[in-house]
Amino acid sequence: MNGTIRLVFQPAEEIGQGALELSKRGVLDDADYFYGVHLRPIEETLDGRARPAILHGACGTIRGVIDGEEAHGARPHLGINAIEVAASIVDALGHLHLNPMTPSSVKMTTLHSGSATNIIPGHAEFSLDVRAQNNEIMTELKKKVRQIVQGVAAGYGATVTLEESHGSPAAVSAPEAIAIMGEAIKKVLGEDHYDPAKRSGGGDDFHQYAIRTPKLKSTMLGLGCDLKPGLHHPYMTFNHDAMYDGVLILSEAVLMTFEKLNSIEAKA
């Protein structure tokens, strides 16, 4: 069969920058299909089973610096308490409402301020974890977060500087790629061990490739492997033999893809 297979061993997935950097270098500019694989926890997929797509949501981090006014604890009226500003930001973000048909969330995950018990802190640093099931809602969510944070700060007379770090876009998996992966799963594991594509609240920078290379048809195989208690947990365990199933499924998907592409060329 005519065609070329390219294996991509991507670094820096956990910090959400590896796929973006490789995309900038044009690693997949001439590719037609792209397949990834990720182990799944038991609550998503059981051992010996697999899904043809993991429909990740978009995720990102917004870091903020609050500058108020330091004062002595005996004279709070002379200061602007950065911790109070942060607390009000948390409360205000809890009242942020977007289309309820699309899951989204924002929460403060780090807050650092103050060192003396009798001093009102005028400085604080915080982080917000933002997530949405699609990229459109994520754009709207980030915009509203900025508006709310700045509005709260202004009410106190404080200033807030916000900075977004690299995140991961939501999945834009292609139906053609998902269909091929599904057939590969059924051929390798059997029809009764096939699970349909599933949405995930987590994120993966794998989806950067499809965002930056629109013609690319991609999907990520979700592999069941008795993984518990959860991904990234310090005591995570899983059935290592399941990875052989992943190799066979990916290999079969590649062969089926070549058959499809060669058939199209033959008819042209």
How do residues 152-196 score in pLDDT, each as one tens digit? Answer: 999 999 999 999 987 888 888 789 999 999 999 999 999 999 999
State pTM to two decimals.
Answer: 0.81
Residue 13 has what pLDDT?
66
Residue 173 has what pLDDT?
76
- If residue 189 lies in a helix (H) or strand (E), which one and from where to where? helix 175-189
Tokens of 149: 């944070």
- Residue 49 pLDDT class (50, 70, 90 cuts): very high
Q: Is the pLDDT of residue 213 over 90?
A: no
Question: pLDDT of 98-146, one tens digit each?
Answer: 999 999 999 999 999 999 999 999 999 999 999 999 999 999 999 999 9
Residue 265 has what pLDDT?
65
Cβ–Cβ under 8 Å, residues 59 and 168:
yes
Question: pLDDT of 7-29, one tens digit each?
Answer: 888 776 666 677 777 777 777 78
Q: Where are the domains of the chain?
A: 18-55+171-267, 58-164
Reply yes or no on domain 18-55+171-267 having CATH 3.40.30.10: no
Picking from 40-49, 90-99, 206-215, which range would have the lowest pLDDT averaged per residue?
206-215
Cβ–Cβ under 8 Å, residues 27 and 215:
no
Q: Is the pLDDT of residue 1 over 70?
A: no
What gap in Å lies between CA 22 and CA 5, rounded to an integer?
Answer: 17
Residues sharing a CB contact under 8 Å with residue 44, sequence separation 6 or more, in sequence order? 51, 198, 200, 222, 224
Which 8-state DSSP code applies to residue 60? E
Mean pLDDT of all residues in 59-68: 96
CATH assignment, 58-164: 3.30.70.360
